[in-house]
Amino acid sequence: MLLEVKNLVKEFGGVVANADISLGLERGKIFGLIGPNGAGKTTLFNCIAGYYKPTRGNIFFEGKDITGWPAHRVTKVGIARTFQSMKIMPNLTVEENVMVGAFCRISNRLVARRDAQEILKLLNLAEEANVLPTELPIATQKRIELARALATRPKLLMLDEIAAGLNPLEIKEIVQTLLRIKEERGLTLFLTEHVMEFIMTISEVVTVMAAGRKIAEGSPEEVAREEKVVEAYLGERYAKGKSD
């Protein structure tokens, strides 16, 4: 098991954002995390990635207890994430944005630039290398943030709503991109998303949260048939469409 979360609880004052969450991510697979707004998905991501310290419970990565580690230390062991609100650095070029990720592991500027150029080529961003990211469309900016995360050389890549705001063609393109980098780099992917057609298409295993709790887990087909999932989130229309 690459990542194990055991009985994780995260409280903010009297509010329980994550309540006794347990899950396991096998190496080399694509995992989806879904749920309505306020379900606690991003809080769970933040606990795993080191931005929040869990109130209780444990997080293991490759068998090592990383509970409460700061984000920079978590990144160095092989976990990278992107954010709902993109963290693009507007005054740096596309290439320089990606180099920032490389500097997590590399101190040599020339090596960091070489790594960044390789990743930009992989994500079809080489032509935009010297452009400021704010001059580019949202879909391209999302790929820049993805590129910067890849530059940290992760084993587990966590993507928070990477398909949000994209049109159907752009969603198809990001699916193909993620499948390609998973195979070429041997990554495990963990995605949280509200675009159901995206996450239910690409994921091998889907975990569903509601009100801070894990309420279901299984293949996309299994999850879509769960009555409590339909009630909490997916809606009858989606479930009916999957069964027709």
State the pTM of this model: 0.90
Q: What stretch of H or E contains 192?
A: strand 188-192
State the CATH architecture for 3-78+157-243: 3-Layer(aba) Sandwich (3.40)
E-assigned strands of 13-155?
15-25, 30-34, 56-61, 64-65, 79-81
**Interval 20-73: pLDDT, tens:** 999 999 999 999 999 988 899 999 999 999 999 999 999 999 999 999 999 999
Residues in the chain, overall count: 244
**Interval 61-107: pLDDT, tens:** 999 999 999 999 999 999 999 987 778 899 999 999 999 999 998 89
E-assigned strands of 46-167?
56-61, 64-65, 79-81, 156-160
Torsion of CA 21, 18, 219, 48, to 10 degrees: -80
* Cα–Cα distances in angstroms (integers) from residue 167 to residues 111, 171, 172, 196, in the given order: 35, 6, 9, 13
What does residue 241 show for φ and ψ, rounded to 5 degrees? -60, -35
Q: Give the domain ranges of the chain.
A: 3-78+157-243, 89-153
